[in-house]
């Protein structure tokens, strides 16, 4: 077992959740699952390549959305190991440890989608660690299901934890959150 010097636990038990996000994801799944069943019937009665391809995405959503929702109360742990950070409990299927060097963190962000032509203040707030990598693990989402105010508190706590251990990175926080 790997030794660590300090740890920071992100636990959502007993904290407010983003009910809008969880509700939308649940309703989407409730609609998506019967739609996938209808397309399955259509794929077997009338063979169309489009329906067969759609089923790949259909059944992926049917399985992955409930698995995602199972992670609502799953803790994430940031372990400091002297020269790097180990992040556990993030990603699929309930998180393999991600090792991040001191010079690999580009930014800690608390933001919502704000495209070039929109000021969308109703999107889900996202707490992220952005890495200076070119692989698929460039963005690590933290506390995905927590309420935005809970994420704002965590933003500062994680910032202090990382800076206290010598990590250098940018911070970005959109307006609207204290």
Q: What are phi and psi of 22, to 5 degrees?
A: -65, -40
Instruction: Specify the pairing of strand 84-88 against strand 6-10.
Output: unpaired
Give the pLDDT score at 95.
Answer: 64
Q: Where are the alpha helices (DSSP H) in 46-134?
A: 49-70
Least confident of 21-25, 112-116, 138-142: 112-116
Task: Name every residue whose Cβ is closer than 8 Å to that of residue 55 and which is 6 or more positions away in sequence.
Answer: 36, 39, 40, 43
Write the CA distances from 133 to 86, 137, 142, 159, integer angstroms: 15, 7, 18, 20
Least confident of 19-33, 55-69, 117-131: 117-131
Give the pLDDT score at 175.
Answer: 47
pLDDT at residue 174 is higher than 80: no
Distance CA 132, CA 168 (A): 12
Give the pLDDT score at 38.
Answer: 93
For the four alpha carbons of 71, 73, 74 and 77, in that order, the dihedral sign comes to positive
pLDDT at residue 178 is higher than 80: no
Percent of the chain surpassing pLDDT 90: 38
pLDDT at residue 146 is higher than 80: yes
pLDDT at residue 120 is higher than 70: no
Q: What confidence tens digit (pLDDT) does each residue in 3-23 have?
A: 778 999 998 888 999 998 899
Kindly indicate the confidence band of residue 48, based on its pLDDT and cuts at 50, 70 and 90: confident
Q: What confidence tens digit (pLDDT) does each residue in 63-102 have?
A: 999 988 888 888 899 999 888 898 888 765 556 788 888 8
The DSSP secondary structure of 133-165, one letter per residue, reads -SSSTTEEEESTTB-HHHHHHHHHHHHHHHHHT
Could you tell me the strand order of the sheet in which 139-142 lies? 139-142, 126-131, 105-111, 170-173
Give the pLDDT score at 72.
Answer: 85
CATH of domain 6-13+74-173: 2.30.29
Q: Ramachandran region of residue 160, left (φ > 0), alpha (ψ -120 to 50) or beta? A: alpha
pLDDT at residue 109 is higher than 80: yes
Distance CA 130, CA 58 (A): 30
Collapsing DSSP to helix, strand or coil, 124 comes out as: coil
Other beta carbons within 10 Å of 115: 8
**What global pTM score does this model have?**
0.79
For the four alpha carbons of 152, 157, 162 and 163, in that order, the dihedral sign comes to positive
Average pLDDT (34-56) is 90
Average pLDDT (37-48) is 89
């Amino acid at each position: 077992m790997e030794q660590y010097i300090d740890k920071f636990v992100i636990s959502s038990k007993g904290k407010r959740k983003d009910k809008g996000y969880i509700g939308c994801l649940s309703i989407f799944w409730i609609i998506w699952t019967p739609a996938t069943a209808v397309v399955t019937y259509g794929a077997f009665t009338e063979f169309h390549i489009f329906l067969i391809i759609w089923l790949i995405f259909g059944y992926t959503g049917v399985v992955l959305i409930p698995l995602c929702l199972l992670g609502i109360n799953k803790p994430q742990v940031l372990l400091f190991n002297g020269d790097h950070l180990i992040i556990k409990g993030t990603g699929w299927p309930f998180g393999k440890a991600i090792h991040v060097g001191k010079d690999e963190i580009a930014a800690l962000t608390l933001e919502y989608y704000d495209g070039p032509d929109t000021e969308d203040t109703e999107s889900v707030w996202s707490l992220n660690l952005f890495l200076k990598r070119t692989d698929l693990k460039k963005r690590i989402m933290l506390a995905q299901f927590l309420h935005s105010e809970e994420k704002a508190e965590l933003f500062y706590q994680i910032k202090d934890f990382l800076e206290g251990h010598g990590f250098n990175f940018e911070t970005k926080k959109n307006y609207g959150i204290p």
